[in-house]
Amino acid sequence: MSYGLNETSPLFRAHNTATQTGVGLNALFNINQSEGCEIDSNEVVVQNDRVFVYGELKATNITLLSFDIEFSSNDSNNSQGWQVANNLNLWHMIGDDGIYAVATSNTGIAMRQKSTASGASSAEETRIFGVRTL
Amino acid sequence: MSYLRIPVPLTMIEVSLSSAATVSTGSMVPFDTVRATGSHGVTVNSSTGEVTLDTSKQYYIQASVDVSRSSTTTGFRFAWVDSTGTEIGVASGGYDAQWDYNNNSTATYTAVYQSTTPVSPIRLKVDSISASSTLNLATKLFILEVTA
């Protein structure tokens, strides 16, 4: 792990503080608070770093039983995760609750909605944690 | 083009339970075992589950929760608290693990505490759960300790 001269830690984090409703396909989940990184248009911005990032999302009122999320970055490295809703039918189990990715330099990292029909869903909390590993 | 980087020492630490525990709302997770990849500043109080951190270091702490609920029609929530029992909120780097029953919801299965200026000690509190549920051995803390 390491950090740059203009940084104070290899660790960074970001999250959203308000419930986001009506998250549509390919839309970015909001993030509005951060420590150790900058936020630009719902993207975590880390410059001149190689980073490992981990994210989680808590969502409600999911119209599909699955809820797919993706880390996307402007270096074209994408990593997908998958969350499965709790529901009354009981046969669905949680498959992959988190999302992981490795991204490289000058990266803007965002969590993107990848389900096909969850426009009525609400993202209660979006979390992104990262470490600089270069 | 090149740029300067400051390398930092890193230790990985696992904190776990030596036996399953019965918990109810308000219980503290009784962590009692530590193992690590090298020297570190983390200790646990095996009587209380209290985790003491070295406040001169920086931490990423991920708690994975494995619980057998005594009632299958209830959810659960685990959250970080400080020495006074006050919850450590997201503004201070404390993120809960929460699952709501019967709400078509996804969960946050990991409770994270990440801080460059950590408070110490901390505990993982069972904020809500059906009474006399079982906390299983897979409940663990994974800690990255950074000397920055």
pLDDT at B69: 93
pLDDT at A17: 87
Pair of tokens at residue A19: 């419930």
Q: Which residues contact B28 (CB under 8 A, 6 or more apart)?
A: B48, B49, B50, B81, B123, B124, B125, B126
Region A28-55 average pLDDT: 89
Tell whether omega for the bond before B121 is within 30 degrees of 0, i.e. cis: yes
pLDDT at B1: 45
Q: Which domains does chain B have, with CATH numbers?
A: 10-146 (2.60.120.40)
**Pick the residue with more confidence: A76 or A24?**
A24
Alpha-carbon distance of A39 to A45, in angstroms, equals 6
Do the Cβ atoms of A15 and B109 come within 8 Å?
no
Taking the mean position of all CA atoms in its chain, how far away is CA A8? 23
What value does the mean pLDDT of chain A take?
79
Taking the mean position of all CA atoms in its chain, how far away is CA B13? 12
pLDDT at A94: 60
Assign B56 a pLDDT band (cuts: 50, 70, 90). Answer: very high
Mapped onto helix, strand or coil, the DSSP state of residue B132 is: coil
Question: What's the predicted TM-score (pTM) here?
Answer: 0.91
Contact A17, A124 (CB under 8 A): no
Strands (E) in A6-50, as ranges, are: 11-15, 20-21, 33-35, 38-40, 43-46
Do the Cβ atoms of A9 and B146 come within 8 Å?
yes
DSSP for B24-87? -TT-B----EEEESS--S-EE-TTT--EE--TTSEEEEEEE--EE-SSTT--EEEEEE-TTS-B
**Pick the residue with more confidence: A95 or B109?**
B109
A64 close to B (CB below 8 A): no
Winning range, highest mean pLDDT, from A89-93, A94-98, B60-64, B101-105: B60-64
pLDDT at A92: 54
pLDDT digits (tens, 9 = 90+) for B131-141: 999 999 999 99
Backbone angles phi, psi at B92, to 5 degrees: -100, 10
Q: Say what percent of chain A tops pLDDT 70.
A: 77
Do the Cβ atoms of B4 and A4 come within 8 Å?
yes
**Pick the residue with more confidence: A123 or A90?**
A123
Provide the residue count of chain A: 134
pLDDT at B121: 98
A47 close to B (CB below 8 A): no
B100 close to A (CB below 8 A): yes
Q: Say what percent of chain A tops pLDDT 90.
A: 19
Using the predicted structure, report yes or no on whether residue A60 has a pLDDT greater than 90: no
pLDDT digits (tens, 9 = 90+) for B95-121: 999 988 866 677 788 999 999 999 999
Assign A2 a pLDDT band (cuts: 50, 70, 90). Answer: confident
**DSSP β-ladder status, A79-84 and A20-21:** unpaired
Residue B109: closest CA among chain A residues belongs to which residue?
A: A97
Torsional sign, CA A122, A125, A129, B1: positive
Q: Which residues contact B128 (CB under 8 A, 6 or more apart)?
A: B25, B75, B76, B77
pLDDT at A31: 93
Q: ipTM beyond 0.85?
A: yes
